[in-house]
């Protein structure tokens, strides 16, 4: 199956239809996705700063790494699930989007960087665990990780400005809002007490 046909199949799925038809699904799922990505980046950033020698140098690296790892993986799992939900309703558009491709390339790069670090430098952690100065391989892995995850976040934001959204409203949606009185009353209550 080619990528376009797969994207079309995802875009026509029941989950995609639900995402497009729901007024609340997209903003809620997108907010959860952003928080999950922030959790991933934040926890990885703490570890990377320790690798670079800028954070918690009195604590062993293995302790910092161990304390943040479960939060990193939980955030990553949530980001993958919510990211898939955001991808499906406009899969065909995403497949052709350069920013999306660059973000996915960044995620692959982050995985490769992590694997190289874990299978080389981390295996010798006992020799440098409590040292203030981490080995060069650890510092390179930390700096590379910060650069790659920054790239992933920038590309993720870039997608929102280059995606080409489909703003057609499903016929069954009732968007007849009467804000005239409701908003005036709301604002007067806020400002006038």
The pLDDT score that the predictor gives to residue 53 is: 86
Domain ranges across the chain: 3-192
Q: How many CA atoms lie within 13 A of 174 on its CB side?
A: 2
Q: Which residues of the chain have pLDDT under 70?
A: 1, 56, 163-193
The pLDDT score that the predictor gives to residue 80 is: 97
The pLDDT score that the predictor gives to residue 2 is: 80
3-state secondary structure 35-53: HHHHHHHHHHHHHHHHHHC
The pLDDT score that the predictor gives to residue 179 is: 52
* C-beta contacts of 183-192 below 8 A and 24+ residues apart: none
d(CA 156, CA 94): 11
Taking only the tens place, the pLDDT of each residue in 137-153 is 999 999 999 999 999 99
Q: Decide: residue 31, CB within 10 A, 0-12 exposed, 13-18 middle, 19+ buried.
A: exposed
């Amino acid at each position: 199956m080619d990528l376009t046909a797969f994207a079309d199949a995802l875009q026509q799925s029941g989950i995609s239809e639900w995402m497009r038809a729901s007024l609340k699904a997209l903003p809620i799922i997108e907010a959860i996705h952003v928080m999950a990505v922030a959790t991933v980046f934040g926890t990885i950033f703490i570890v990377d700063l320790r690798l670079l020698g800028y954070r918690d140098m009195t604590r062993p690296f293995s302790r910092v790494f161990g304390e943040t790892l479960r939060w990193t993986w939980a955030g990553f799992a949530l980001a993958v699930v919510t990211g898939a939900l955001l991808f499906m309703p406009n899969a065909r558009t995403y497949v052709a989007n350069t920013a999306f491709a660059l973000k996915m390339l960044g995620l692959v790069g982050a995985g490769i960087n992590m694997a190289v670090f874990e299978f080389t430098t981390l295996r010798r952690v006992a020799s440098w665990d409590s040292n203030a100065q981490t080995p060069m391989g650890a510092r390179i892995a930390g700096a590379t990780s910060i650069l790659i995850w920054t790239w992933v976040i920038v590309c993720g934001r870039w997608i929102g400005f280059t995606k080409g959204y489909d703003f057609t409203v499903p016929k069954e949606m009732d968007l007849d809002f009467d804000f005239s009185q409701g908003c005036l009353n709301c604002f007067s209550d806020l400002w006038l007490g």
